[in-house]
């Protein structure tokens, strides 16, 4: 027997339809690449996105065609998004932090038909245009006055001209909710990047989950600053969640420095924001330098990499801002867990809450987790047993685009995240390392992430990274690499003494090396692969003591 309810396909065009009809006057604020702050509304965005849909149709774009965007967070970028997805085309967000060769590979692999770009990326497109044979048309997301920069790109179209020339009379939707809505490629740290294809249904379900009180808890009364890039798994879903509830949306464009972010927070009355730790560290440096404070900011969502304790304490202790620690990945759309406390833990003093807040958190409804050993045997949730983290749910990838990598699910339908983790009795998951980064010493595992988070709290440290280095007796031992703050100097002993008592003695790094740079990958995470390459052949002092020369 089937239910007798209406068939109302879960397609994302309905999200902007709702925003325009019921929250049409709510503001969307963008820091434009041309300079000025630009203001629009959900109602105006809806009108302009439909004009873009008609422009795409005039270019021959059909259901299932891939349309790429190479752009920062802005109102125009969102208009392109909804204009693409509204007609059943597939919005392919390109990560501009990838190398040009990787971008060309991804564009060709996706077979993008049209490419929307910001002015920033014109030099790369001009240089590599011939290596993008599938791209029939490039649209520059600017106005006529700034199209001079696109003179070297023959045939490029002006975004604002397309908006002016086409009608807003366009029918959206009418296709199956399982239709592809977007593609986001992994960062390709191992092999070529792989395409994760989101469906309209998965994006819609993810949106509903993010709006739960114990997830992002956004409402009409919020002002959200969307720092997380739209090319990182749909800006963590905020590009859908904000219009779904009609909250005022603020976007920083290309400028993510502390001064620019602080200006937007204060002038626009931001109450909620989401970004990676490096953005928040720059912001806090700016606030401290100005001896300022936050007048409206209440909550920040931090993901992308583990939140250092010093960062969480600074927000809470110095500025009264709640930090929500989150974990996810491209393959999970991306929300997987959030560090929202249970009532029992929330009743504890803050110092006793902190160990839980620093974990990646608990799953919302719609996500399942399990820990397994190398043989696939389930492991206990005791907070100590470390295992491979696997995930399952209605917005988790089932396979990659064009079946790259083959079958990616186990026999029970779980996806292997590539992370090592623990889960405690209260349900809090903690990432202990990437499988490829975990340090195996004497048959036991050492978490490089845990040591890094402690080391970066040293007052002289700007960044810290830990990698495993070969050892003749223990197989691998940890090496701590530190980038110091400007003008600082330090010794190996200072950092080892700082770690004393905070980690098990056998976890203590065998050496500390001070470096000028710790490389970050395309998603802002430490590039351990490059670090291991740079330190190839490095001999630990303890290895020398055991006879290795």
- Distance (Å, rounded) from C-alpha 305 to C-alpha 387? 19
334: cis peptide before it, omega within 30°?
yes
3-class state of residue 207 by DSSP: helix
List, in sequence order, every residue forming a beta bridge with 512; answer none if it has no partner.
480
The residue among 546, 548, 507, 516 whose CA lies nearest residue 534 is 516
Distance of CA 47 to CAs 17, 155, 222, 237, Å?
Answer: 10, 26, 24, 22
Angle at 25 between CA 19 and CA 28, to 5 degrees: 75
Helices vs. strands in the chain: H and E counts, helices first = 19, 24
Residues classed as catalytic: 186, 331, 440, 445
Question: Which DSSP string do the residues of 346-409 spell out, in sequence order?
Answer: HTS-HHHHHHHHTS-BBPPTTEEEEEE-TT--B---SSS--EEEEEEETTS-SS-GGGTTS--B
Tokens of 281: 């560290």
DSSP code, position 341: P
Encoding tokens for residue 320? 């009264």
What dihedral do alpha carbons 56, 57, 59, 65 form, nearest 10°?
A: 80
Q: Collapse the DSSP code of 159 into the 3-class scheme (helix H, G, I; strand E, B; otherwise coil) and give the result.
A: helix
CB 517 within 8 A of CB 488: no
């Amino acid at each position: 027997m089937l239910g007798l309810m209406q068939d109302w396909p879960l397609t994302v065009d309905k999200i902007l339809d709702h925003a325009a009809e019921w929250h049409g006057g709510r503001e969307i604020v963008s820091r434009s690449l041309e300079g000025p702050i630009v203001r629009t509304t959900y109602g105006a965005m809806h009108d302009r996105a439909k004009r873009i849909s008609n422009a795409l149709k005039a270019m021959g774009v059909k259901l299932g065609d891939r349309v790429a965007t190479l752009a920062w967070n802005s109102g125009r970028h969102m208009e392109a998004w909804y204009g693409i997805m509204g007609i059943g085309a597939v919005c392919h967000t390109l990560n501009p932090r990838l190398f040009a060769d990787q971008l060309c590979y991804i564009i060709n692999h996706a077979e993008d038909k049209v490419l929307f770009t910001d002015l920033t990326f014109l030099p790369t497109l001009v240089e590599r245009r011939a290596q993008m044979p599938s791209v029939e048309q490039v649209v520059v997301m600017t106005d006529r006055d700034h199209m001079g920069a696109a003179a070297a790109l023959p045939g490029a179209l002006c975004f604002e001209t397309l908006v002016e020339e086409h009608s807003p009379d366009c029918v959206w939707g009418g296709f199956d909710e399982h239709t592809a809505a977007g593609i986001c490629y992994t960062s390709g740290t191992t092999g070529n990047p792989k395409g994760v294809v989101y469906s309209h249904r998965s994006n819609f379900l993810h949106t509903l989950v993010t709006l739960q009180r114990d997830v992002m808890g956004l409402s009409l009364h919020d002002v959200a600053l969307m720092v997380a890039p739209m090319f990182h798994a749909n800006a963590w879903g905020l590009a859908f969640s904000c219009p779904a509830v009609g909250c005022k949306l603020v976007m920083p464009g290309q400028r993510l420095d502390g001064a620019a972010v602080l200006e937007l927070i204060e002038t626009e009355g931001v109450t909620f924001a989401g970004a990676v730790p490096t953005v928040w560290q720059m912001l806090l440096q700016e606030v401290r330098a100005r001896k300022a404070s936050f007048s409206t900011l209440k909550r920040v969502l931090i993901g992308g990499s583990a939140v250092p304790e010093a960062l969480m304490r600074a927000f809470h202790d110095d500025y009264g801002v709640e930090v929500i620690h989150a974990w996810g990945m491209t393959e999970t759309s991306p929300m997987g867990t959030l560090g929202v406390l249970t009532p029992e833990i929330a009743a504890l003093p803050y110092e006793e809450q902190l160990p839980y807040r620093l974990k990646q958190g608990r799953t919302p409804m719609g996500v399942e987790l399990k820990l397994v050993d190398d043989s696939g045997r389930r492991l206990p949730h005791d907070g100590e047993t470390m295992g491979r983290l696997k995930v399952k749910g209605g917005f988790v990838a089932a396979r990659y685009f064009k079946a790259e990598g083959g079958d990616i699910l186990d026999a029970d339908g779980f996806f292997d995240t590539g992370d090592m983790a623990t889960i405690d009795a209260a349900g809090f998951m903690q990432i202990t390392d990437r499988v490829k980064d975990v340090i195996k010493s004497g048959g036991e595992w050492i978490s490089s992430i845990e040591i890094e988070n402690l080391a970066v709290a040293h007052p002289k440290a700007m960044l810290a990274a830990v990698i495993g280095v070969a050892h003749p007796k223990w197989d691998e031992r940890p090496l701590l690499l530190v980038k110091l703050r400007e003008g600082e100097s330090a010794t190996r002993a200072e950092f080892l003494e700082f770690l004393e008592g905070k980690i098990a003695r056998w976890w203590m790094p065998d050496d500390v090396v001070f470096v000028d740079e710790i490389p970050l990958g395309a998603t802002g995470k430490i590039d351990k692969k490059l670090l291991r390459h740079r330190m190839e052949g490095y001999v630990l002092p303890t290895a020398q003591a055991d006879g290795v020369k």
